[in-house]
Amino acid sequence: MLSTQGYAAMIAKAVPVSFVFERRDVGPHDVLIAITHCGICHSDIHQACDEWGGSIFSMVPGHEIVGIVARVGSAVKKFKTNDRVGVGCFVDS
Which residue ranges make up each domain of the chain?
A: 2-87
Instruction: List, in sequence order, every beta strand (DSSP E) within the chain.
Output: 2-8, 17-23, 31-39, 64-72, 84-87
pLDDT mean over 2-7:
92
Residue closest to 65 by CA, chosen among 43, 86, 41: 86
The mean predicted confidence, pLDDT, of the chain is 93
Per-residue pLDDT tens over the stretch 39-70: 899 999 999 999 999 999 999 998 889 999 99
Query: Rounded to two decimals, what is the model's pTM?
Result: 0.82
CATH of domain 2-87: 3.90.180.10
So what's the pLDDT on residue 1? 87
User: Has residue 92 got a pLDDT over 70?
Assistant: no
